[in-house]
Amino acid sequence: MHMNDKIPLIREKALWMRRTAFAMVHRAQLGHPGGDFSAIDILATLYFGVMRFDPKRPDWPDRDRFVMSKGHATGALYTALCAAGYFPEDWLATYMQPRSLLNGHPNRNYLPGIETNTGPLGHGFPVATGIAIAGQLAGAGYRTFVLTGDGEQQEGSNWEAAMVAGHRRLSNLTLIIDRNRLQQGAGTEETSGLDPLDKRYDAFGFDVTEVDGHDPAALLAVLGAAPGSKPRCVIANTTKGKGVSFMENVASWHHGVPNDAQFEQAMKELV
């Protein structure tokens, strides 16, 4: 299939993921919908346009690996895994319920398709770097993709991982930064400035590309490209709460939950 032929499917899945994730948060009255919605187009592109995987064989050795380092964005991750066929859709109705397999942070012991437990920020990128090192040492053909938040970049463990990845020239590793410029309570640049983020990763030995994180064609072109000779950093410029007017670029929707009227309005907008 030509890359452009995948775009309608990616858009269809992303819309379903937004509607479904918001319904999950509304039902549970818990979650992080703002960051879910900034990341969903990225996940839809990875799962339905880029990565090699087999949901019937979650431990297939040659699968591409994905690590959701911004582990609070489970609405995005769980809907992606469900849409990709890892578990039945009716499981989503249990989101955040007592003893549910779909709890607030992803747990590899509960659900297939999760490579590592995440939640405490700054852990996923180092683990993904280790996964990529293992692939490099084994001469394996899989690629490792990891999605971090931009506020998460303030964790020092990311920069230790970047130093190692650049030194080892992990061409099988792609770091994607969800650059929505908002974190819990405030903007990233007000909290601890990250710019110039591109030059920082370039200095650590990464091939750096900036892309519209809501454009499947642009994401496909970057994420689907053959690996080069360095690890790749993709700065995906996104909008927190993308697709719902009252959520977009509003910091309080980092962990806000909708009332019934807001839910109905969002469903009218997400078409």
Residue 3 has pLDDT above 80, yes or no: no
pLDDT at res. 1:
63
| pLDDT 10s digits, 29-39 | 999 999 999 99
Distance CA 60, CA 228 (A): 24
Residue 271 has pLDDT above 80, yes or no: yes
Domain boundaries, the chain: 3-269
Token pair for residue 258? 């909708």
Q: What is the mean pLDDT of residues 212-224?
A: 98
174 close to 146: Cβ distance less than 8 angstroms? yes
Give pTM, 2 decimals.
0.97
Supply the CATH classification number for the domain 3-269: 3.40.50.970
DSSP for 27-72, please give it: HHT-S-HHHHHHHHHHHHHIIIII----TT-TT-TTPPEEEESSTT
Residue 132 has pLDDT above 70, yes or no: yes
pLDDT at res. 20:
98
| pLDDT 10s digits, 17-75 | 999 999 999 999 999 999 999 999 999 999 999 999 999 999 999 999 999 999 999 99
- Sequence-separated (6 or more) residues with CB below 8 Å from residue 47: 13, 53, 66, 80, 83, 84
